[in-house]
A and B are shown apart, each in its own frame.
Chain A
């Protein structure tokens, strides 16, 4: 073997392996009822698509400012002011990114020196650990379980802090658990962050899909603005996943750093997507509420159905995921998922995709029509022999 042509050890060691094969199996199968999808089942509202078509017709096909069109950054600032009373300067505290995904990567690369640690509650979205690794940092995973509704506590964060801990990565409502935090719980977390004087990278992309209380941004607590790298996007609330657009708001020095990397790697977010995003922020209020009501109903349905068939499921506060325990079946996450797919043609994601400790769980997404959910629940029941 020609060692000179090997890829880097760091990249080679990046997870995952078994999960990839399972994904390929699902993608190769037809007529599957899928609860495995991490995106809304609504198509982007028409007025937003129409605006994108208009932008294309009018010839908005050139680069924009690296940070994103100023009109869009102003709309984002206005939205934050209107919705949460937060004040961000569109000139130097907001950056438009290729979804929250890019923003997470930029944030890690911007703040981390080699070996610095980032606390990440587990289970977590798949990219957090690897982006810390790739940025030369060290992920420190804080375990949560179904008993606590997969919630991290301020105490856990405080205890996990050691010298060299640079940031807490938090995501609420969360993928893959649907877990979110109310104001009091967040205030406790904010206190620890202030006490330990660290950054929080706060991925709040599911914020509009919070069901049992109002969403409170991490940056809204007193003294937190300079600690928070606030990430959000258009994928979930406006069903715009394929437009690939999100944003980061934070302290000017951090945004300036992120913008440097962004300009060298991305240049700018596709202009058409930026135009569509302006429209989404200006005129989408009702779409968002309609989607939220529909998700709330499905959540009730799926949580009840799973608990009734003996798969222990907590009632998540947001997003469109549940992460039930399948321990009562005695099967591993992968075995359960594979059998369910092969025997009943229902796709779910093995919990182990989101952290080793999630063995015994599977993630199900209820971003699927009520008819599909009903059929999927019936098939799972029949798979369980009930």
Chain B
């Protein structure tokens, strides 16, 4: 992966000036590259990773991983049904996977009832959905490569040869 993307993946707020210093490229070249990535849709958006467990006034919410088995359709395969499913705002992620089921759908809602309702009234009755298995998330340990527990402090001495 391009170094610029690697740096941005880790820190979306870093400035082009700083990236230039780290990579040895000119500020203009960095700005141009980023603009190009944005235009091409390589960079989709800049978001903040928040540990919602620690946010005091956040509305409580539950998250469920749903395994969905579907009957693929002629001409459109899985695409058509996937689009129907991921267009619901409740669906935060949607993946086509190999294995014993087809779509892995992640759904968020205020509580178990909301999510259960969504599955019962929207997802399961859909034509060509053969079956669903729902797993409610109990605890998040790591997300997108980041361990959510506060990292242990470094144990190095402050000076050594």
Q: Give chain A's interface residues, CB within 8 Å of chain B.
A: 23, 26-27, 29, 32, 34, 36-39, 41, 43, 125-127, 175, 293, 297-298, 300-301, 304-305, 347, 349, 353, 370
Contact = CB atoms under 8 A, between A and B. Distances in A.
B22 interface: yes
Given A293-B3, A300-B21, A301-B21, A41 B160 contact: no
A34 B23 CA distance: 23
8 contacts: A32-B158, A34-B156, A36-B158, A126-B161, A293-B6, A298-B22, A300-B23, A304-B21
B145 interface: no
A38 B3 CA distance: 27
Contacts of B24: 300
Contacts, number: 51
B124 to A, nearest CB: 40
A34 B159 contact: yes
B145 to A, nearest CB: 12
B159 A26 contact: yes
Interface residues of B, number: 14
Given A293-B3, A297-B22, A300-B21, A347 B159 contact: yes
Nearest to B159: A36
B157 A37 contact: yes
Contact of A353 (B6, B21, B158, B161): B161
Contacts of B154: 41, 43
A83 to B, nearest CB: 24
A297 B156 contact: no
A75 B24 CA distance: 37
Contacts of A43: 154
Contacts of B157: 27, 37
Interface of B: 3, 6-7, 21-24, 154, 156-161
Contacts of A370: 22
A173 to B, nearest CB: 15
A225 to B, nearest CB: 30
A297 B25 CA distance: 11
A305 B18 CA distance: 11
Contacts of B158: 26-27, 29, 32, 34, 36-37, 347
Contacts of A41: 154, 156
A79 to B, nearest CB: 26
A301 B21 CA distance: 6
A2 B131 CA distance: 90
Contacts of B22: 297-298, 300-301, 370
B23 A38 contact: no
A37 B156 contact: yes
A102 to B, nearest CB: 15
Given A27-B158, A297-B3, 12 more contacts: A27-B159, A36-B159, A38-B160, A39-B156, A39-B160, A126-B161, A175-B161, A297-B22, A297-B23, A298-B22, A305-B21, A349-B161
Contacts of B161: 38, 125-127, 175, 349, 353
Going nearest first, the 10 A-B pairs with the smallest beta carbon separation are A36-B159, A297-B22, A34-B158, A26-B159, A38-B160, A126-B161, A38-B161, A301-B21, A300-B24, A32-B158
A4 B3 CA distance: 64
A37 B159 contact: yes
Contacts of B159: 23, 26-27, 34, 36-37, 347, 349
Nearest to A101: B161
Nearest to B24: A300
A114 B24 CA distance: 51
Nearest to B25: A300
A43 B154 CA distance: 8
B24 to A, nearest CB: 5
Nearest to A25: B159
A346 B3 CA distance: 29
A36 B157 CA distance: 9
Contact of B160 (A32, A36, A293, A300): A36
Nearest to B22: A297
Contacts of A39: 156, 160
A37 B3 contact: no
Contacts of B3: 293, 297
